Each structure stands twice: as structure tokens, then as C-alpha cells.
């Protein structure tokens, strides 16, 4: 039987990379990853194509010959930009996805899988089903541009599914965390930003933006990858829109306390209500995903956080025994390499070993100490 040919857009990004690495191990699939500006990673002879997905001619040529498109490319940012520069989520994402949807139809692609999100939903104390949102619903003003952009793209996919051979699956996912996430304060979401603050805490206190009562539904990225694999196997409808999340929410304060405990640090929490924050309580009802695909998240939320610690803590423990000879940091992908091994960021703290940071033309000294107990992904 011929291998299915899959194209992963945004394969160097957070969600795209996790999917790309995982499904590339399937001998029944022939997987190609797209990169744009961020340099592709070299692993297991992965296949790569460089492309600008906002350029019509490039997109039209790109999709020919593929059976399945997994669209994980997007312009993203953290809460600061969502509040202060909401327009950055609109134009490029609309252009990119519009071109891909049309090209998929013209290339007779069998299945197009894309990622929406949950920001169109209203704040709620109970998990929300896909049917809760409708076109008359008001979207939180902080999410107005990005939220309606996602709704527009969902409707565009539904339209294309009604007039052509390609089936479309839209995944409304909750807040995703795990390996290859963004951790800088400017671009990260709540999990990555909190990791950053905890592991860079110097005075025994971290400051959370807002009052800490905001609640988010956090899902470990491997659970999302598992769902994508099920969709590839089982989704047969012309159009399917489905929630994927943990199914319950956790407050930012409780999340931070959990992470502080796992990191084994003595840290106080303070609050800055003047900083940008989005006061929303949200969790997703994922009963549709369970009914149609047999999907459920694996393990507890604490287990998901612990996975990050264990994964990178073991690597660091091994490196600690070998000695640290050099560190390279890719600030775009926020990936740290120690002794030639790539690991997650923010697993190091000030210590007594000397190494150099190298990125393009940047070279600077860095004092590091291997700290397995502080390893988050």
C-alpha cells in the first residue's frame, strides 16, 4: 500500500514541531515539513521545504501531490501583544489560511487539518461545547480581532468542504503547553511565561500580571498530537469542528503554586494589576472528541507538568556527569544545546561552570549550573 503523503505547515513552531517529530516516525507515512524564516532542525533525515505561505504562487506549487495537509503555521504572540497590538493576529493569518484552503481544493488534497482555538468562547464556570458559540455571540474585546479571524477561517473551511473534494477538520484547542513552547515574556502564553518567571526568580518573589484569578484549560501537547493522529485515521466527514482540551480549568495562582512546588523553590507570589491580563474563566467540553474518535487526555495536569521536568531533567543529569563544555542557544526557537544535545530552555541557573552563548553574531559568557529539578519544557 502506498504511503500517505503529509505536509506539515509550521513544522518549526511549537505545535507543528511536536506533530512533525511524532508522525515522522510512522513508516506508513511520508512526511514533509515547511519552514520559513526559522532554521529547520536536523533529525532522522526529516524532509524539509522552505516556503512563504503568504505568497500565492508558492502555496499553489507546494500542495501538489500531498494527501493530507496539517496547517500549524501562524502568527502568534502572548497576552501583551494580544492586548496592545491585536491586529498582528489578523492579516497574515487570514491570507495564509485562505491561500492554503484554496490550493488544497485545486490540488485535490484529501484531508486538510487546521488549528483554531477557544478564544471565541465566552467566560464560563462550566465546560463549553462547540455549539455554545454562534455568530450573535460577543467575543471578549481583547480577543475581538483574533477571535473573529478564527471564526472566519472555520467558516471558510466549511464552505470549501461543501464545494470540493477536500474534507476539513478544525481543532478548537485550549491552552497547549509542553516541549518547544515559547518561554520569553513578550511572546509566551501563561504556561511559558510562568516557567520563565519561576526559573529566573532572584529575590524570592515573582509577579503575576492581573490578580491571579483568571482560569485556563491547559492541555499537554502530546495529547493534542494523539488527537491529530486519530483524526488522520478516523475523520471521514466533509467538515468537522471539535474541541480539544483538558476539560477543566485552573487559576493562574493555583497553576503557579503547583509549578513552584514541582520546581522545589521557596517563592512568594505578588500581583501587578496594571499589567495586561485577560480576565476569562474557560474550559472545554470534549465529549464530541471522545464520542467520535475515542480521545481523552492522558494523566493529570500535574503529570503533564511533571513530564516536562522528567524529560529534560534526565538529559541534564546525564550531561552533569559528563561535564558542561559548551552551550548554544537558538533564541528564535528557544532551544538550548549542551555538549551538542538539544534540550528545552530555562533548565539552567547561575553556577560555577563557564560556557559561551553563540547565536548568529552574538557571543557572550554564561555561568551555568545543571539543575535537573528545575527542568520544565
pLDDT at 77: 56
Q: Is the pLDDT of residue 13 over 80?
A: yes
Of the two residues 291 and 366, the one the predictor is more confident about is 291
Do residues 177 and 304 touch, judged by C-beta distance below 8 A? yes
Distance, in Å, from the CA atom of 279 to the CA atom of 271, rounded to the nearest integer, reads 14
pTM above 0.85, yes or no: no
When pLDDT is cut at 50, 70 and 90, the band that residue 373 belongs to is very low
pLDDT at 85: 61
Distance, in Å, from the CA atom of 291 to the CA atom of 183, rounded to the nearest integer, reads 34
> Could you give all domains of the chain from N- to C-terminal order, each with its CATH number?
4-179+220-246+282-298 (3.40.50.720), 314-374 (no CATH)
pLDDT at 181: 83
When pLDDT is cut at 50, 70 and 90, the band that residue 354 belongs to is very low
3-state SS of the chain is CCCEEEEEECCCCHHHHHHHHHHCCCCCEEEEEEECCCCCCCCCCCEEEECCCCCHHHHHHHCCCCCEEEECCCCCCCHHHHHHCHHHHCHHHHHHHHHHHHHHHHCCCCEEEEECCCCCCCCCCCCECHHHCCCCCCCCHHHHHHHHHHHHHHHHHHHHHHHCCCEEEEEEECEEECCCCCCCCCCCCHHHHHHHHHHCCCCCEEEEECCCCCEECEEEHHHHHHHHHHHHHHCCCCEEEEEECCCCCEEHHHHHHHHHHHHCCCCEEEEECCCCCCCCECCECCHHHHHHHCCCCCCCHHHHHHHHHHHHHHHHHHHHHHCCCCEEEECCCCEEEECCEEECCCCEEEEEEEEEEEECCEEEEEEEEECHHHCCC
Between 84-88, 142-146, 273-277, the lowest mean confidence (pLDDT) is in 84-88
pLDDT at 273: 81
Q: Is the pLDDT of residue 314 over 50?
A: no
pLDDT at 184: 67
Share of the chain above pLDDT 70, in %: 71
The 10s digit of each residue's pLDDT in 165-197 is 999 999 999 999 888 887 766 666 778 778 878
Highest average pLDDT, of 111-115, 151-155, 172-176, 212-216, comes from 111-115
When pLDDT is cut at 50, 70 and 90, the band that residue 88 belongs to is low
Cα maximum dimension of the chain: 64
The arithmetic mean of pLDDT across residues 100-107, rounded, is 96
Distance, in Å, from the CA atom of 5 to the CA atom of 72, rounded to the nearest integer, reads 16
When pLDDT is cut at 50, 70 and 90, the band that residue 109 belongs to is very high
pLDDT at 137: 67
Of the two residues 268 and 300, the one the predictor is more confident about is 268
Amino acid at each position: 500500500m502506498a504511503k500517505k503523503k503529509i505536509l506539515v505547515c509550521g513544522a518549526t513552531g511549537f505545535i507543528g514541531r511536536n506533530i512533525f517529530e511524532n508522525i515522522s516516525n510512522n513508516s506508513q507515512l511520508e512526511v514533509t515539513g515547511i519552514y520559513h524564516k526559522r532554521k529547520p532542525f536536523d533529525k532522522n533525515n526529516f524532509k524539509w521545504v522552505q516556503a512563504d505561505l503568504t505568497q500565492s504562487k508558492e502555496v499553489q506549487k507546494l500542495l501538489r501531490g500531498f494527501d493530507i495537509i496539517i496547517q500549524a503555521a501562524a502568527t502568534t504572540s502572548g497576552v501583551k501583544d494580544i492586548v496592545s497590538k491585536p491586529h498582528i493576529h489578523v492579516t497574515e493569518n487570514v491570507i495564509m489560511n485562505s491561500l492554503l484552503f484554496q490550493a488544497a481544493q485545486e490540488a485535490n488534497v484529501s484531508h486538510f487539518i487546521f488549528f483554531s482555538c477557544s478564544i471565541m468562547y465566552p467566560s464560563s464556570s462550566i465546560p463549553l461545547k462547540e455549539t455554545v458559540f454562534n455568530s450573535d455571540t460577543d467575543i471578549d474585546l481583547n480577543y475581538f480581532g483574533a477571535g473573529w479571524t478564527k471564526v472566519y477561517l472555520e467558516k471558510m473551511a466549511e464552505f470549501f468542504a461543501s464545494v470540493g473534494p477536500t474534507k476539513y477538520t478544525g481543532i478548537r484547542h485550549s491552552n497547549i503547553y509542553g516541549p518547544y513552547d515559547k518561554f520569553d515574556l513578550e511572546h509566551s502564553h501563561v504556561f511559558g511565561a510562568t516557567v520563565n518567571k519561576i526559573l529566573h526568580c532572584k529575590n524570592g518573589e515573582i509577579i503575576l500580571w492581573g490578580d491571579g484569578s483568571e482560569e485556563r484549560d491547559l492541555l499537554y501537547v502530546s495529547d493534542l498530537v494523539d488527537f491529530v493522529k486519530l483524526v488522520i485515521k478516523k475523520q471521514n466527514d466533509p467538515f468537522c469542528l471539535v474541541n480539544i482540551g483538558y476539560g477543566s480549568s485552573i487559576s493562574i495562582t493555583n497553576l503557579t503554586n503547583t509549578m513552584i512546588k514541582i520546581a522545589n523553590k521557596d517563592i512568594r507570589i505578588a500581583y501587578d494589576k496594571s499589567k495586561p491580563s485577560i480576565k476569562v474563566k474557560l474550559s472545554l467540553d470534549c465529549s464530541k472528541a471522545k464520542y467520535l474518535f475515542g480521545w481523552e487526555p492522558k494523566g493529570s495536569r500535574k503529570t503533564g507538568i511533571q513530564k516536562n521536568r522528567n524529560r529534560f531533567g534526565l538529559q541534564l543529569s546525564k550531561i552533569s556527569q559528563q561535564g558542561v563544555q559548551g552551550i548554544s542557544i537558538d533564541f528564535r526557537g528557544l532551544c538550548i544545546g549542551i555538549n551538542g544535545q538539544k534540550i528545552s530552555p530555562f533548565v539552567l541557573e547561575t553556577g560555577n561552570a563557564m560556557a559561551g552563548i553563540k547565536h548568529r553574531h552574538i557571543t557572550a559568557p554564561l555561568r551555568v549550573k545543571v539543575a535537573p529539578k528545575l527542568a520544565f519544557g
